[in-house]
Structure 1
Amino acid sequence: MRILVQPYGAITLGAFLKDILSGKHGEFKVFQSCVAFAKRSGVRHIQGEVKQFLENDGNQVRIVVGIDHSGTSVEGLEGLLDCCTKGEVWINHCEDKFVTFHPKIYLFENDEKAILVIGSQNLTEGGLYTNDESSAVYWLNIGNKADDELLAEIKSYFDIWCDPKSENSKQLDSSFLKVLTENGNILPEVFLTNGKQSSTKSEPSTDSIQKEALFSKSQVKRSAPRISVSKATKAIELKSEIPTSDLSSTGFVMTLQKTDVGTGQTTKGTSRRSPEIFIPLSARDFAPDFWRWKESFTEDKKRPGKFDRLGVKMRIGGETAIVNMMTWPVKHDFRLRSEVLRNAGNIGDILRIERVDGSDEFSYYVEIIPRGTTSYDQYLALCSNSTRNSKKTWGYYN
């Protein structure tokens, strides 16, 4: 056995895989791999070698990929289909919000020996070359009882992950890739962040169109032991659920709810609610620079603790709206006050706000993504953060 550690070891996993596929460690007949994520950045490094490997008569390739947390891109899967025209690509996914397909295994074998790599590396450029990663590399001899047992066990798991009868695994082709894309299960890389954004799956909202369930929930029992915790510990855990980020995000997306587009009381003698969009405080604190919090906010002298950013210009459609941003301790949200914004969308639509630097005419560009439009599912997938006690979801992108 050998431990492969990036970036401190003598070789990266990417270079090691290319060497094996090219025959530098012997002639192998079968290559199987399973990873949580695949992106163009990583796939492109081995595309040529995989194509050449499959040109040899009888050689087989089978690659299994997960599609959770927007870690796999359209381009990554396109690259795998391109180099595996004579092989197989499989997608493994469970609809359960707490289940992630997360193994990373690379297996090469022939009639005499096998090389098994088990570790942390995905089919991304970071996983193959630049991240801090580690893997254990095993050289197995066919005919050795212990090695044969290990090899048979590993191969049995690949058969489970590639079982056509399973509702959690499906073989990928160009048609199914189109379905996954249109359904919002995977995104083009232009919509993806660099991976530091929280990827917690959010509670499904009946106020917005949901993805079609292309896979089933887990078919096997999964559980973790219960741990008793004190009320104080629960409070600490609750606080830690609020995502934080040091990203300089350029775009924000959020599903609109009744509080964002409704008018409140309309009966005679009652006041009409102020025209405000409600942004969760966790969303504001996730990327404070996006809103210029607190550098561009001033405290209201009449209401200590209330901070405002007044007269913010936002371009929406053909007009520039004047928006007041506000937040104060007695409220549990961050608000954008504007009649134009409040009247622009409907329940379930997605509010997209893009920060515009270097423009004197407006500071943000705003777009409403209506339900049923071609780009709705792609933006909905970016709304990966849930809001406590609400169906509202939100997210950022770069």
Structure 2
Amino acid sequence: MELMNQPFSGQLGNRLIELLNSPDYHTLNIVVAFAKNSGVLRIKDALENFRGRGGIVNVYVGVDLGGTSYEALTALLLHADSLNVIHSENDQTFHSKIYQFIGDNAGLIVVGSNNITAGGLWTNFESSVLAPVENSSAEIGPILKEVDNYIESLSSLEDSLMQMGSQDDIDKLLESGYVFKEVAQQIRLAKAAAQDGSRQRLFGNGAPAHLPYVETQKKAKVVTSVSEAPESFDFAFLKDEGNTIWFETKSMTGGSRNILDLSKKSLVELGDPKGTPFDLGDQKFMRGGVEFFGLDPAATDQKKNITLNFEGVDYFGNEILYPDGANANGTWRLQIKGASSSERKITEAFRAKGEGFLLVKKVIAFTKINDDYYSLSVFPESELENFKVASYILAWNGSTRTARQLGLIFQKIDNP
């Protein structure tokens, strides 16, 4: 039996991936209060490898306190054999955190405080007990039986348990306000922080804890050239995973209206990029939005492919380049044209939403997972003012106020 005090004695996310890759288990039952894309996308490949060997994954997750996102449920629907949402209408919070691995000859139960979020599995202070289970162990047997009984009790909750059989079920939760898109939550929290104003810092930065790099399929060579900023300036919000850049799209370009201009430099409307990777040495301007994706706006001979996760599916081969010749318009472009591992194009997924050109006259947001891996979210143009208010830096996606707008949203690693 082991007590893991994260991050001092390990990170549960790494241990879960090791256990999923072990041949000793055939079933994983997950019971958690909260799930976010930041956690799910970091374990999804291990879940798929486990299922590919014949393993079964069952998930029970709560939706209280805004701790579970629309994107996380969408991804879990794709990477689990069963997905169940638990919620009580009488303010009874679902707050369990249990991971039960079952094998033919042995098993393992994890009980603690870890949710399926980046914070819960890697960066938060969390504690959990990992109890190995052997068929011959009379001491552990009752604990295993109690976990089984608890999951059976959850399954019998009737109206307080809803099985997610399709994406339509998750969309219904979104439409009814039980879950929210993650960037929408970022907007809400950023607006609240802006209203609270600045607060004197009385504590330090805690203990070091690092997130794992997510390997994506068909991964192209990453070309980066990011400027360095003074060590005295804390701009983790511009470098770390979990942070967001958004763009006003207006008409877009390309035959499928899927090409986004990123600009070489941007006219600053609000905020100060001084000391950040966006700093141009001119208070009125900052480096263009392409900087967020790890490319030097001035190095126009570079290209980069990124992976976009849209509604739970990874689309590979979305190219960022600075066009020349007849196609040149003096700005960087992100060609949102990737395809999934099943060779379905992301533009087909856009058309399936039934809006014609999905990205036209919208606000689109990119949340960083890795330097070459981002989550893409689409919002109606009516949300533009909310995005502007919540932005740490607000700018124009070009050198004049006739350009589309963009903004950067500070987001600490989600910590439920």
Larger radius of gyration: 1
TM-score, normalised via structure 2 length: 0.46
TM-score, normalised via structure 1 length: 0.48
